[in-house]
Amino acid sequence: MSKLVITGRKQLAGEVPISGSKNSSVAIIPAALLGEGTTILENVPAIRDVEVFVQILEGLGVDVSMNKNTMTISPNDFSTYVTQYDLVRKLRASYYLMGVLLAKFGKAEVGLPGGCDIGPRPIDQHLKGFQALGADVSVEGGIVRLKADHLQGAPVYLDMPSVGATINIMLAASMADGTTIIENAAKEPHVVDLANFINAMGGSVHGAGTDVIRIKGTRDLRGTEHAIIPDDMESATYMMMAVATAGDVEIKGVITKHLEPVVAKLREAGADIEQNGDFIEVSGPERPKPVNVRTMPYPGFPTDAQQPLTAVLTRATGVSIVHESMYDNRLGHMNELVKMGAKARVQGKTAIIEGVPKLTGAPVTATDLRAGASLVIAGLSAEGTTEVHGFEIIQRGYEAIVDKLRSLGADVQVIE
Ligand code: EPU
């Protein structure tokens, strides 16, 4: 285990470039296996989740190389539909191989996915979608087995706008016969990025970014070039860091539209935010104002920004109420914030945070990716030294976080 040691109370200032989106990359990298020929992906973040995905693809016999942030994927010679269990369980997004392998080979064997421990994360909607397209589905011994002699486009109504199910069904449907219509689809930016990628491969996906997505399948997908969109949650995290340290940070290379819910909430908390083209400049007040927030699917306030926001609110000038409506267990990090002097209690899926004038550094542990981001934010704003244990969890999703923080004036070091 490694730890990040932060000496806090430095006002962050300067520019920070935003990397490619983690959640887009982990959908588009497997999608590249659908096409004949080589795909070149630009703006792929060098993060652990991407490294694990590369290992999984290599295990399938796919030729993958990464040069800085450019990934080349040549899937021509691979014919394996069975994934390695020890690797897929490290990564939530490995479940996208179900849709991809089912589309390509008519069968798939993929272990149930791992990922952040933020409460039960069923995949019933993914499996329901595969069944609607004509696949036999069985789950035994932790392995999902899918088989279809013929995949046929069909209507699929999702019980909730699940990002994962929307993407997985798009992947499977992209090579099915006929048209699939996903109703109550997720609208997150990475769903749209994947649709654009499938279209660039020669596919036909319409309506991504709305509740209804139509996918007309074709067997004629081919490798292409595509640049991954900027990571909205990395951007949100640096915005929160600026506010938490009363700093002034220019976040560069973003799509401002994707950040509207976060911008609105941080303005409510007293941040001064300017947006122009592809950058957002955020300056924080001495202490933020309290705000109430409820997480929602896009374009609501994102669950992935909830944990970072709670760290900001620990120093607000009043009481904030934060309700997590997506996951059952995404407030566990509040206990760690309390170790740093935060005054907060959790009732079910709601945190009641009474702002205090200052936090004090303490040893704390990151239990999941965004919990880790939250503790880093708290450490940056706290007096004294904070040790965030489990730094490798943070490296799953934040490219070059130490270099980026140092360039903004933070005092951080990693101890292995
Ligand atoms: N759900 C079901 N059944 C399903 C699918 C989802 O009940 O078949 C429930 C989940 O349990 C959850 C809700 O629906 O309560 C939303 O789940 P969703 O499927 O939308 O989430 P996901 O695809 O598992 C992705 C991101 C998460 C992000 C969520 C919500 C990836 C790899 N992961 O997860 O990202 O929190 O969407 O926006 O794209 C993160 O980056 O830190 C992260 C956890």
44: domain CATH number?
3.65.10.10
Q: Is the pTM of this model over 0.85?
A: yes
User: How large is the greatest C-alpha to C-alpha distance in the chain, in angstroms?
Assistant: 64
| Arithmetic mean of pLDDT, 156-164 | 97
Tens digits of per-residue pLDDT, 331-384? 999 999 999 999 999 999 999 999 999 999 999 999 999 999 999 999 999 999
Instruction: Verify whether ligand 1 is closer than 6 Å to residue 326 (CB atom).
Output: yes
**Whether the predicted pLDDT of 157 surpasses 80:** yes
Length of the chain: 416
| Separation of CA 30 and ligand 1 centre (Å) | 18
CA distance 222 to 203: 9
Instruction: Verify whether ligand 1 is closer than 6 Å to residue 124 (CB atom).
Output: yes
DSSP state of 176: S
Q: Are residues 384 and 239 in the same domain?
A: yes
Q: Give the E-state strand segments of 277-356 in sequence order.
A: 279-283, 293-294, 319-323, 343-347, 350-354
Q: What is the pLDDT of residue 118?
A: 65
CB 411 within 8 A of CB 7: yes
CB 72 within 8 A of CB 39: yes
Is 332 annotated as catalytic? no
Question: Confidence band (pLDDT; 50, 70, 90) for 119?
Answer: low
DSSP state of 26: H
CB 379 within 8 A of CB 314: no
Instruction: Verify whether ligand 1 is closer than 6 Å to residue 123 (CB atom).
Output: yes
Q: Ligand 1 pocket: which of 92, 127, 162, 171 to mutate (most atoms <8 Å of CB)?
A: 162
Tens digits of per-residue pLDDT, 179-226? 999 999 999 999 999 999 999 999 999 999 999 999 999 999 999 999
The tokens for 113 are: 């996915």
CB count in 10 Å sphere of residue 263: 18
Task: From 227, 246, 273, give the residue that closes a domain.
Answer: 227
User: What is the three-class DSSP state of 121?
Assistant: coil
- Return the sign of the alpha-carbon dihedral for residues 234, 280, 315, 357: positive
Which ligand 1 atom lies nearest to the CA of residue 115?
44
**Nearest protein Cα to ligand 1, atom 31:** 23
CA distance 317 to 21: 33
Number of domains in the chain: 2
* Domain limits for position 36: 22-227
Encoded amino acid at 128, one letter: K
Candidate list 33, 50, 91, 116, residue with the active-site label? 116
Q: Are residues 189 and 257 in the same domain?
A: no
Q: Are residues 245 and 200 in the same domain?
A: no
**Nearest protein Cα to ligand 1, atom 17:** 162
Question: Confidence band (pLDDT; 50, 70, 90) for 79?
Answer: confident
Using alpha carbons only, how large is the chain's radius of gyration in Å? Answer: 21
Determine if the peptide bond prior to 285 is cis (ω within 30°).
no
Task: From 227, 255, 280, give the residue that closes a domain.
Answer: 227
